[in-house]
Every structure is written in C-alpha cells, then in structure tokens.
Amino acid sequence: MRRFCLTLAALTLIGCGGGHGHSHSGEGIEISNARINPPLPGQSTGVAFMRLDNHGEDDRLLAITSPVSGRIELHTHLNDGGIMQMRRVDGIALPHGETVELKPGGFHVMLFETTATLGEEAVLTLDFEKAEDLTVAAPIVLRGETDHGSHSKSSDHGSSTKH
C-alpha cells in the first residue's frame, strides 16, 4: 500500500494522511459486553456497563438513551479520602485505538427510574461527539453476571430486537 500512496501523492500532490495509518470514523467504535443491572429491591436506579473499543479517531461518548429510562447519566467513581464517591461526567474520552471499560468502580451508566426488568433486554443508544450513534441490545442481568454472547456486539440493526 505504501508504494501506491507515494505514487498517488506524487501524481496528485495530495498526502496520504500523514502516514499514521489512521482511517477516519469508518472503522468506528465497537461495543461489547454491554449489560444492565436492574435496580436493587426498593430502589429505582439501574446501572449499565460495557466495553468500548475505538478503532476510529479520538472521540467522546456524550450520552446514552434507552426506552427503559427517561434519565440516563454517565458517572465515574472517585476515591475521596478512602470513600468511593460517584460523580456525573459530561462525557467519556475514547482515544483512538484504545479500549475503555465501563465497569464497577469506574465509569458507569446510571439509569434513573428504570423499568429494566431482570431477564429481559434493553436497547441502549450511544451518542458520540464524532461517530454515528450506535445502538446495542444489553441483557438485564444481576450484578456480577456478564454476557459474552455475540448478540451484545454493537450493531446498527440492534434496535430491531426491541418491541
């Protein structure tokens, strides 16, 4: 590919993107292991986790929406003098080529007044600063359970699984 780029550059006087081998947002962001923990008994707030692999350019996860919650916030955990505190964040940085894990004790997704029901699935729609929105069907499982099934992979067609 290198020789082709040099030839093309010589012929047309345009570069080949600086030689980083980066492509643009086409390779995109991959979501895996998305899952939702339903509220504990007597509570109404659920929490979602997932893994994000950014194969595209530097980006940010800005927001998440879902039919099972009218208000979803992105949170992180901070260790404040030995006490773990949750803080809302405006977004989660997704650097090019890196994996960001939303997991217990770190970044997580809070679903307020959620109707998420154990054993069902809910669609999460992720809004990014640059990349196109992605939807993922997340199984609703008890805390500690994970789902390694292929159906939790990100897909533009995932929303068809939700009634």
User: Strand (E) positions, the chain?
Assistant: 29-37, 46-54, 59-65, 71-80, 83-88, 92-94, 99-102, 108-112, 121-128, 134-139
Residue 110 is a binding residue for Cu ion (CB under 5 A) = yes
Q: Which stretch binds Cu ion (CB under 5 A): 8-16, 70-78, 116-124, 142-150?
A: 70-78
Residue 86 is a binding residue for Cu ion (CB under 5 A) = yes
Between 35 and 75, name the residue whose CB sits nearer to Cu ion: 75
At residue 133, what are phi and psi to the nearest 5 degrees? -55, 145
Residue 89 is a binding residue for Cu ion (CB under 5 A) = no
Q: Which stretch binds Cu ion (CB under 5 A): 29-37, 56-64, 83-91, 99-107?
A: 83-91
At residue 63, what are phi and psi to the nearest 5 degrees? -165, 160
Q: From CA 16, how far away is CA 78, in angstroms rounded?
A: 42
Q: Name the residue among 50, 14, 47, 48 with its Cα closest to residue 29.
A: 50
Between 92 and 131, name the residue whose CB sits nearer to Cu ion: 92
Between 110 and 134, name the residue whose CB sits nearer to Cu ion: 110
3-state class of 92 per DSSP?
strand
Residue 35 is a binding residue for Cu ion (CB under 5 A) = no
Residue 74 is a binding residue for Cu ion (CB under 5 A) = no
Total number of residues binding Cu ion (CB under 5 A)?
Answer: 3
Residue 75 is a binding residue for Cu ion (CB under 5 A) = yes
Positions that interact with Cu ion (CB under 5 A): 75, 86, 110
